[in-house]
């Protein structure tokens, strides 16, 4: 039989995520491949023993309570735990305003389902996280892309765009204010305040996607507070957080903090997707975080040290390997840096030549919602590679650049 597929699949633009995943090597699989491609946390940080204890406890002690169909919003004990952890970062949210998700991309998808009509406009950063674009494909949105500089999204350009008479009112603004994927930069404190002013003036909904915010590299205190922690953000900002980077991505557990008005539509939409997130997993994560033999905060602090050492190794290796015609960002946290090759060089060609040399990187062209940027860019991820392998990977990248220029 010939299956009839929906118009958005047949006629919509090519999926950037599909392009990225088309070559499994790009995610770091393969014998001697060095993976600067995907945004994987370091495998050695997975808390395997603590997870084993937590799952056993969830089955043994709470199985009868946990395993029937559960609440769509998520287990109250997990929502309380998340509310406590967020309060430590200045985000004050009642457990009733938190929705548990099966991965943060599900949250992005659901906000799209409840706010967008076909052809509506979404504001994104340029560059942006390509995985998010997959969440909204069905609505065939238009994108208003706002460039990012070393202080994050250029909010003044958003303000300017919104005052143009022909600019449709956006369904929402999607951004990664902290240690952005793919550039590694953060939105400055001043611009966060300006963005909230613009949101108030233009009645905008903002999605703050924050998978990397807890991995800052300097000092005890978080350097720039999350957008959702700032005064006046409550009605404008949907905050999306995840356990993927602090525990492990395979467990698929994330959450959104939302305005009370949005809870019912979000739950209605989620019921039509998976009814609720895996309750055994939710219960296990509650046990894990309350386990006296495992300190989640210390675990995150160790992650900060590990990723800082890897960022430093990559910066050192880039400095000794490339000359001044190649530039890169210096992230203060997170997993990524953005490398700009000399003008006229193709990031796609270099990514492909680098793969032949045994190092996977993502070409910058994947990260632009309108497919109109990043031609000479590369995203490099240092999170899941040891410092020694990072040095080797940068050497291989240099050989890839030479091969692509030949
Ligand atoms: C910006 C951003 N948002 C969301 C995700 C996905 O998170 P999750 O595993 O919770 O779906 C990632 C993963 O790489 C990401 O970089």
Q: Shortest CA distance to 104 belongs to which of 231, 257, 230, 222? A: 257
C-alpha of residue 256 to centroid of ligand 1, in Å: 13
What is residue 233's DSSP assignment?
-
Counting from 1 in the atom list of ligand 1, the atom nearest the Cα of 180 is 1
C-alpha of residue 389 to centroid of ligand 1, in Å: 24
C-alpha of residue 158 to centroid of ligand 1, in Å: 24
Q: Give all domains of the chain, ordered by start, each with its CATH number.
A: 7-46+297-405 (3.90.1150.10), 71-275 (3.40.640.10)
Is the CB–ligand 1 distance for residue 104 below 6 Å? yes
C-alpha of residue 3 to centroid of ligand 1, in Å: 31
Q: Which of 16, 38, 41, 105 gets mutated to test ligand 1 (max ligand atoms within 8 A of its CB)?
A: 105
What is residue 169's DSSP assignment?
P
- Interatomic CA distance for residues 167 and 280, integer angstroms: 46
Is the CB–ligand 1 distance for residue 124 below 6 Å? no
Is the CB–ligand 1 distance for residue 246 below 6 Å? no
Counting from 1 in the atom list of ligand 1, the atom nearest the Cα of 245 is 9
Q: What is the pTM of this model?
A: 0.96
Is the CB–ligand 1 distance for residue 249 below 6 Å? yes
Is the CB–ligand 1 distance for residue 334 below 6 Å? no
C-alpha of residue 44 to centroid of ligand 1, in Å: 19
C-alpha of residue 397 to centroid of ligand 1, in Å: 25
C-alpha of residue 62 to centroid of ligand 1, in Å: 29
- Interatomic CA distance for residues 230 and 358, integer angstroms: 44
Residue 25 pLDDT: 60
C-alpha of residue 163 to centroid of ligand 1, in Å: 32
Q: For 46-64, how does the pLDDT look when each residue is reduced to its tens digit (9 = 90+)?
A: 999 999 999 999 999 989 9
- Interatomic CA distance for residues 199 and 138, integer angstroms: 25
Q: Which of 181, 281, 331 gets mutated to test ligand 1 (max ligand atoms within 8 A of its CB)?
A: 181
Is the CB–ligand 1 distance for residue 209 below 6 Å? yes
Chain center to CA of 239:
12
- Interatomic CA distance for residues 263 and 259, integer angstroms: 7
Q: Within 13 Å, how many C-alpha atoms sit on residue 287's CB side?
A: 23
Is the CB–ligand 1 distance for residue 131 below 6 Å? yes
Cα–Cα distances in Å, from 354 out to 144, 248, 395, 404? 32, 28, 10, 8
Counting from 1 in the atom list of ligand 1, the atom nearest the Cα of 242 is 10
Segments of the chain with pLDDT less than 70? 23-31
Let me know: does 101 contact 122? Beta carbons within 8 Å. no
CB within 8 Å of 201: residues ≥ 6 apart: none
Chain center to CA of 380:
14
Q: Which of 26, 148, 211 gets mutated to test ligand 1 (max ligand atoms within 8 A of its CB)?
A: 211
Output the residue whose Cα is nearest ligand 1's atom 14. 39
Tokens of 280: 């055994």
Which residue is it, tokens 């046990």?
Answer: 287
Output the residue whose Cα is nearest ligand 1's atom 13. 39
C-alpha of residue 105 to centroid of ligand 1, in Å: 6
Residue 104 pLDDT: 97
Counting from 1 in the atom list of ligand 1, the atom nearest the Cα of 249 is 9
Q: For 351-369, how does the pLDDT look when each residue is reduced to its tens digit (9 = 90+)?
A: 999 999 999 999 999 999 9
Q: Which of 244, 281, 362, 383 gets mutated to test ligand 1 (max ligand atoms within 8 A of its CB)?
A: 244
Is the CB–ligand 1 distance for residue 186 below 6 Å? no
């Amino acid at each position: 039989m010939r299956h009839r597929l929906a118009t958005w699949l047949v006629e919509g633009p090519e999926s950037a995520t599909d392009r990225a995943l088309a070559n499994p090597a790009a995610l770091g699989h393969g014998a001697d491949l060095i993976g600067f491609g995907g945004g994987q946390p370091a495998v050695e940080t997975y808390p395997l023993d603590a997870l084993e204890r937590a799952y056993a406890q969830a089955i043994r002690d709470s199985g009868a309570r946990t395993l029937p169909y559960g609440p769509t919003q998520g287990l109250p004990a997990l929502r309380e735990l998340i509310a406590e952890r967020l309060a430590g970062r200045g985000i004050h949210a009642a457990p009733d305003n938190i929705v548990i998700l099966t991965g943060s991309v599900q949250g992005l998808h659901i906000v799209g389902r409840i706010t967008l009509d076909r052809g509506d406009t979404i504001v994104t950063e340029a560059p942006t996280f390509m995985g998010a674009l997959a969440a909204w494909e069905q609505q065939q949105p238009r994108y208003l892309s706002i460039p990012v500089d070393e202080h994050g999204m250029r909010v003044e350009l958003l303000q300017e765009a919104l005052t143009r008479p022909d600019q449709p009112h956006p369904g929402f603004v999607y951004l990664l204010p902290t240690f952005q994927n793919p550039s590694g930069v953060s939105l400055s404190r001043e611009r966060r305040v300006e963005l909230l002013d613009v949101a108030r003036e233009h009645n905008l909904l903002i999605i703050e996607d924050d998978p990397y915010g807890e991995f800052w590299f300097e000092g005890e205190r978080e350097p720039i507070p999350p957008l959702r922690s700032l005064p006046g953000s409550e009605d404008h900002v949907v905050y999306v957080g995840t356990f993927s980077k602090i525990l492990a991505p395979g467990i698929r557990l994330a959450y959104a903090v939302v305005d009370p008005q949005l809870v019912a539509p979000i739950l209605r939409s989620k019921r039509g997707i998976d009814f609720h997130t895996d309750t055994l997993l939710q219960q296990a994560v509650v046990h894990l975080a309350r386990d006296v033999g495992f300190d989640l905060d210390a675990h995150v602090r160790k992650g900060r040290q590990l990723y800082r050492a890897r960022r430093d190794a990559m910066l050192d290796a880039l400095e000794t390997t490339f000359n001044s015609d190649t530039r890169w960002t210096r992230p203060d946290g997170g997993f990524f840096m953005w490398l700009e090759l000399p003008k006229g060089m193709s990031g796609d060609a270099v990514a492909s030549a680098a793969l032949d040399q045994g190092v996977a990187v993502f070409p910058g062209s994947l990260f632009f919602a309108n497919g109109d940027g990043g031609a000479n860019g590369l995203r490099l991820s240092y999170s899941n590679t040891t410092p020694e392998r990072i040095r080797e990977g940068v050497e291989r990248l240099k050989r890839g650049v030479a091969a692509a220029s030949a």
